[in-house]
Amino acid sequence: MLQNILTGWKNYLSKSEVTEAIAKHRAAVCAACPNARQGKLLTFIKDRLKEVEGTYCNTCKCPLSAKVRSNDICPKNKW
């Protein structure tokens, strides 16, 4: 899982168009999910996907800016 999140951060930095298209869809799903929470430390990480900026998943505890751009899966099978 850590490897997947590291890949997600790499994709966050590279912002490839394909990754961003997938991430945008996932971010919309996460934004509507009750498991998405605002993280105190994550507020300093800016994201053009405003739906997930500064948030983490309360189920897997992953930062959503990286998770939506990773090879990981949603722990609730929502995407």
CB of 2 to ligand SF4, least distance (A): 16
Contacting residue, 57, 66, 69, 70, with ligand SF4 by CB under 6 A: 57
- Taking alpha carbons only, the member of 79, 74, 61, 62 closest to residue 9 is 62
Query: In Å, what is the CA distance from 40 to each residue of 8, 20, 23, 51?
Result: 20, 24, 22, 16
Q: Applying CB under 6 A, which of residues 43, 59, 61, 71 lies at the interface with ligand SF4?
A: 59
Contacts with ligand SF4, residue ranges (CB under 6 A): 29-30, 33, 35-36, 57, 59, 67, 74-76, 78
